[in-house]
């Protein structure tokens, strides 16, 4: 295997594939990137079994020659070391040559020689698109990830809660994330004939979102065990999380007794300032509402207390005080991406709803915290 390649194109593609390589791998062979030079060009593959990424560098891009002086073949190279080497090289082109599982990486100034293992030792990866296909514009996919994925659990005790649940039915795609203390839900319109249910790891959805820069859309294929994303010349495959997702359809209260309309930015600032004094209660702050005013407060038995008054608001209902995790509510408000937000309450210890008054496609639910 041999090729001379434009350095910037190689660095860009290696950076993409390397995102799939974990710091801790179950199989040492997965520390490697697999390079395959075929009729289509140079494909670079990285995987940790949970996620696999394959990206292709073509021989030419319009009139620009990217790969020349080549001999087709395959090779495995240590992912981190290979990435560090090519990033450090200065010339416009890099030459990669493999003879008897010994690789040389050279330009006009540098020469590196690496021991390789046989490419046949790399596992076969399922990177074929099968099952139900859905194409989403980039801005729609980004809104799904940005407005829901943060609410998924990061703890592995209940793996299904680390997923973003995607359900397509009757012309609507519903994306739901919950860690059991909060929930984020986003709906978008899709073609009527598309139907599926999939638990996609939330962190993988975010990873794909990061890879979508400058691309118009993403094509997603869902099968029983995997989701596969096509991003231009890059393919990302991830395993689905097994198990039944919790029934969240009835979490959003149908009737509420209190409603607070407030500027989102003002509320975020008040929460952040009050939260400085919440260290004793793990980021818990209190929201007090009545005809006399609205305030955010926090206290520490060791340090003191803080009270932040909200000046511009509209409150419907009698007096109410609710305690909540400041990070949960702040994340929910930011996800709405709205100037004004509405927070609707049933009662002191019932889950409350945070929504954008002008966009009913996104809804956030947070469970209050009991304080004594």
At 247-289, the pLDDT tens digits run: 998 899 989 999 999 999 999 999 999 999 877 678 899 999 9
Say if residue 168 is in the same domain as residue 207.
yes
Are 140 and 234 found together in one domain? yes
pLDDT at position 23: 76
Residue 248 lies in a domain: no
Q: Is residue 127 part of a domain?
A: no
Q: Are residues 188 and 110 in the same domain?
A: no
User: In the predicted model, is pLDDT for residue 234 greater than 70?
Assistant: yes
Q: Is residue 246 part of a domain?
A: no
Residue 250 lies in a domain: no
CATH code for the domain of 88: 3.10.150.10
Say how far apart CA 197 and CA 223 lie, in whole Å: 10
Examine the domain organization and report whether 233 and 289 are in the same domain. no
Kindly state whether residue 29 falls inside one of the protein's structural domains.
yes
Residue 251 lies in a domain: no
Question: Same domain for 151 and 189?
Answer: yes
Q: Are 54 and 47 in contact (CB under 8 A)?
A: no
Output the pLDDT for position 372.
62
Residue 293: phi, psi to the nearest 5?
155, 175
- Structural domain total, the chain: 3
Backbone φ and ψ of 54, nearest 5°: -125, 125
Measured CA to CA, the distance from residue 74 to residue 120 in angstroms comes to 9
CA distance 94 to 105: 7
Same domain, 219 and 270: no
The tokens of 78 are what? 């240590």
Residue 22 — very low, low, confident or very high, per pLDDT cuts 50/70/90? confident
The predicted pLDDT at position 249 comes to 85
Averaged pLDDT for residues 227-253 = 94
Which tens digits make up the pLDDT trace of 292-351?
A: 899 999 988 788 889 999 999 999 999 999 999 999 999 999 999 999 999 999 999 999
Q: Domain range spanning residue 214?
A: 132-239
154: buried, middle or exposed (CB in 10 Å: 19+, 13-18, 0-12)?
Answer: exposed
Q: Is the pTM above the cut of 0.75?
A: yes
d(CA 187, CA 176): 9
Token pair recorded at residue 39: 């009729």
Residue 227 CB: number of other CB atoms within 10 A?
A: 24
State whether 67 and 103 are in the same domain: yes
């Amino acid at each position: 295997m041999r090729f001379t390649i434009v350095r910037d194109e190689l660095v860009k593609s290696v950076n993409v594939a390397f995102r799939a390589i974990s710091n801790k791998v179950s199989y040492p062979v997965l520390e490697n990137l697999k390079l395959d030079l075929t009729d289509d060009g140079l494909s670079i593959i990285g995987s940790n079994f949970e996620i696999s990424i394959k990206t292709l560098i073509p021989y030419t891009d319009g009139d620009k020659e990217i790969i020349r002086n080549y001999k087709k073949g395959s090779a495995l190279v240590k992912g981190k070391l290979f990435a560090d080497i090519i990033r450090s090289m200065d010339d416009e082109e890099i030459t990669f040559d493999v003879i008897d599982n010994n690789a040389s990486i050279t330009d006009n100034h540098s020469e590196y020689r690496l021991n390789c293992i046989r490419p046949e030792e790399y596992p076969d990866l399922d990177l074929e698109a099968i099952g139900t296909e859905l194409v989403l514009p980039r801005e729609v996919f980004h809104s799904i990830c940005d407005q829901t994925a943060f609410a998924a659990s990061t703890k592995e005790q209940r793996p299904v809660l680390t997923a973003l649940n995607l359900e397509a039915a009757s012309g609507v795609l519903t994306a739901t994330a919950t860690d059991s203390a909060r929930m984020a839900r986003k709906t978008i319109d899709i073609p009527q004939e598309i139907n599926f249910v999939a638990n996609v790891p939330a962190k993988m959805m975010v990873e794909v979102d990061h890879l979508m820069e400058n691309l118009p859309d993403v094509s997603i294929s869902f099968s029983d065990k995997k989701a596969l994303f096509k991003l231009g010349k890059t393919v990302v495959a991830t395993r689905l999380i097994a198990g039944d997702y919790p029934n969240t359809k009835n979490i959003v209260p149908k009737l509420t007794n209190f409603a607070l309309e407030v500027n989102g930015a003002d509320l975020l600032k008040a929460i952040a300032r009050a939260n400085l004094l919440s260290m004793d209660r793990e980021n818990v702050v209190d929201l007090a509402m009545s005809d006399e005013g609205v305030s955010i407060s926090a206290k520490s038995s060791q340090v003191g207390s803080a009270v932040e008054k909200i000046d511009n608001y509209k409150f419907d209902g009698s007096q109410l005080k609710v305690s909540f995790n400041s990070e949960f509510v702040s994340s929910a408000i930011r996800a709405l991406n709205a100037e004004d937000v509405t927070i609707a309450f049933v009662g002191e210890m019932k889950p409350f709803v945070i929504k954008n008054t002008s966009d009913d496609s996104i809804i956030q639910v947070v469970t209050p915290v009991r304080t004594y």
